[in-house]
Amino acid sequence: MNKLNKLIKLYRGGKKLSCITAYDASMSKYLDSFGIDIILVGDSLGQVIQGQKTTHNVTTREVIYHASCVKSGNKSATLMVDLPKDSYKSKVQAYNNASYFISNNLADLVKVETDMENIDIVEHLIKKGIPICAHIGLLPQSIKNKSGYRKYGKTKKEAQYYYNLAMKLNAINVNIILIECLDNSLAKSICKDTNMPVIGIGSGQGIDGQVAVIYDLLGISFNKIDAFSTDDRTPLDKQIFKFKKKLK
């Protein structure tokens, strides 16, 4: 059974899933030894590794480099990588980049920041056999200024938009939905009405798992990522919580 199928089995068995970012072999080995379910090579590396203000300048080449570092430290965790900004503007470009990660065993699935505008690209990748995590809600790659760092889905209109988006993602069979900074009760309804793991950051406890940036857990992020100031996840789900305790 491949790692992604094992992960889905854990989810179906009722396990709350933990997902933490890593960008290098040592941290990846440490997180894996601790039983973290998903290691994410996030484009947050733009902020926490490169010291930039946003994720916008991270390149596919850089994600490939960090994914290969993380891969060498990891045995059991499911490996997820971000497709960085502007690396999936067309179906062909998205497939070429995503399939590079999958066919070179640099990832078990790729994460794509998804909205109604690019869902056709996500659907294309799924049809071509690429396992996908659709990232919805606050999309760091699209944020233009500080006001973009907020909770989404608070108004009726926005809530309807995100609910419909999640139902479409459910219908096209994405493997995981990752929700960032979405209204907690909306996140919970999306989780209840879809049949894949719904994990989140800053979206409350009523979902299938929690995501965290490792440097945020360590309290040493170079550039505090604003999303976390809207983050009201207390306490974190068990496994991340235990991990945090161990770090103290």
Return the residues of window 133-172 that contact ligand KIV according to CB under 6 A.
Answer: none
* Whole-angstrom distance, CA of residue 30 vs CA of residue 73: 8
Q: Is 158 a catalytic residue?
A: no
* Choices 22-30, 37-45, 157-165, 237-245; region in contact with ligand KIV by CB under 6 A: 37-45
Q: How many CB atoms lie within 10 A of CB 81?
A: 28
**Smallest separation (angstroms) from ligand KIV to the CB of 227:** 6
Three-state SS annotation for 17-61: EEEEECCCHHHHHHHHHCCCCEEEECCCHHHHCCCCCCCCCCCHH
Residues 6+ apart with CB under 8 A from 23: 41, 45, 48, 49, 66, 69, 70
Tokens 């994914």: give the residue. 67
Residues 6+ apart with CB under 8 A from 30: 73
Indicate which single residue of 180, 183, 231, 237 sits in contact with ligand KIV (rule: CB under 6 A): 180
Residue 240's Cβ-side half-sphere holds a number of Cα atoms within 13 Å equal to: 28
Is 201 among the residues that bind ligand KIV (CB under 6 A)? yes
**Smallest separation (angstroms) from ligand KIV to the CB of 213:** 5
Give me the DSSP letters along 186-200.
HHHHHHHH-SS-EEE
Nearer to ligand KIV, 44 or 97 (CB): 44
**Smallest separation (angstroms) from ligand KIV to the CB of 113:** 8
Nearer to ligand KIV, 79 or 211 (CB): 211
Nearer to ligand KIV, 58 or 186 (CB): 58
**Smallest separation (angstroms) from ligand KIV to the CB of 156:** 26
Return the residues of window 42-101 that contact ligand KIV according to CB under 6 A.
Answer: 42-44, 82
Where do the H-state alpha helices sit in the chain?
A: 3-12, 25-33, 45-48, 60-73, 91-103, 119-127, 156-171, 184-193, 214-218, 238-247
Is 211 among the residues that bind ligand KIV (CB under 6 A)? yes
Indicate which single residue of 64, 69, 112, 213 sits in contact with ligand KIV (rule: CB under 6 A): 213
* Whole-angstrom distance, CA of residue 29 vs CA of residue 224: 25
* Choices 10-18, 40-48, 87-95, 185-193; region in contact with ligand KIV by CB under 6 A: 40-48
Q: At 39, phi and psi to the nearest 5?
A: -105, 125
Tokens 């072999």: give the residue. 25
* Residues near ligand KIV (CB under 6 A), total: 11
Nearer to ligand KIV, 82 or 208 (CB): 82
**Smallest separation (angstroms) from ligand KIV to the CB of 178:** 6
Q: Which residues bind ligand KIV (CB under 6 A)?
A: 21, 40, 42-44, 82, 178, 180, 201, 211, 213
Residues acting as catalytic residues:
180
